[in-house]
Structure 1
Amino acid sequence: MGTTIIGLIVIAVAVIYVVFIYNRLVSLRNQFKNGFAQIDVQLQRRHDLIPNLVEAAKAYLTHEKSTLTQVMEARNNAVSAQKDAAGDPGETTKIQRLGSAENLLTKALANFYAVAENYPDLKANETIQQLMEELSSTENRVAFARQAYNDGIMSYNIFREQFPNNVIAGMFAFRETAQLQLDSPEARQAPKVAF
């Protein structure tokens, strides 16, 4: 009788421990998904500003159509990657694709800013200045949101990989998730806007 009670207590403690680990994994996963939702909001804002900037710049950059086209193509690719990643922010390949697409968009915008430097009337346009300032502010918000997301991913991955958590995570298909990274050091710098 005494061994049966001890056995039941051991089983109950083991079940409670498994439930604790499972619930902690769910909590950490939801935290990083919330972090991605914050990135998603800022990226949407960024993506919405870009067509307005391109449209406002068209009148000034009549000889730079390829630059404007490149920005819009990069933006459209980033929007597609964003929507794909938003469907499952825990999927490593989707997050990596989003990072690459945003990196290309940042490079296209940097090219746009470099071209804009050669057009004093464009730089002096109040609408362009306002849009560029809003875009720069949004870039900072994206950076902060990405940092919070990556911190959430790191906490989740660390907890998931610890023993015995890794056994329970494997049983319930809690998979490793990638941080949102930019590909190159140049892309890690916010676009520089000078007037």
Structure 2
Amino acid sequence: MSGFLIFGAVILALALFAISVYNKFVRNRNLVKDAWSNIDVALKRRYDLIPNLVETVKGYASHEKETLDAVIKARNQAMSVPPDDVNGKIKAENIFQNALKSLFALSEAYPDLKANVNFLDLQGKLNEMEENLERSRRYYNGTVRENNTYGESFPGMLLAGMFNYQHFDYFEVEEAARENVKVDFS
């Protein structure tokens, strides 16, 4: 009888352990998805602002069509990535960020554009959105770090396959996007 109780206690302890690990996986995945939804909202707001910015620049730099088209193309590609494809969205955002930098580089060559009230207003709104996006990105990366660490370390790795553990990529700015744009109109 006491052997049966010990066996029952061990089974109960293993079941409680498995439930605890499963709940941690669910919690981490939901935190990552919640953090990503904050980024998604910020990205949509930025996407909505870009056409106004491009139209303002067009009035001053109409012969810079290639740059303007590249920004719109990168925006449309980033918008077309399905919302649940987080890793694809991150890659598309890095391409879009590089195209957006080239748009702001144009303002250096056009003093009238640089002084335009609409352009300055749109640039200010975009800077505010970028700051919000940066905060959301930091929070998202923190939840990704916690999720990935738990799924790849003990005890989570023991049951990761059975509980459909999902690894997420960090949302980092690529090195090319960190560099200052060099403007040369010689």
TM-score of the aligned structures, taking structure 1 as reference length: 0.86
Q: Does 1:35 align with 2:32?
A: no
Which of 94, 101, 106 matches 2:97? 106
Output the CA distance in 2 between the equivalents of 1:167 and 1:176: 15
What is aligned with 1:187? 177
Of 112-121 and 124-133, deviating more is 112-121
Gaps of 5+ in 2: 182-186
Q: 1:40-189, aligned counterparts within 5 Å?
A: 40-81=40-81, 84=82, 86-89=83-86, 95=87, 97-184=88-175, 186-188=176-178
- 1:92 aligns with none
TM-superposed deviation, 1:47: 0.8
Q: How many residues align structurally? A: 181
Structure 1 segments unaligned to the other structure (5+ residues): 90-94
Computed over aligned residues only, the root mean square deviation of the Cα atoms, in angstroms, reads 1.7
**1:136-176 deviations in Å (ceiling 9; x for gaps):** 11111111111111110110111112223212111121132
Amino acid at match of 1:50: I
TM-score w.r.t. the length of structure 2 is 0.90
The alignment partner of 1:135 has SS state of helix
- Is residue 29–residue 166 contact of structure 2 (8 Å, CA) maintained in 1? no
1:109-132 Cα distance to aligned partner (Å, 9 max, x none): 211111121212211111111001
State the Cα deviation string for residues 90-119 of structure 1 (Å, max 9, x = none): xxxxx1x32332222222121111112121
In 2, Cα distance between the equivalents of 1:23 and 1:73? 41
1:99·1:183 contact (CA, 8 Å) conserved in 2? no
C-alpha displacement at 1:88, in angstroms?
A: 4.4
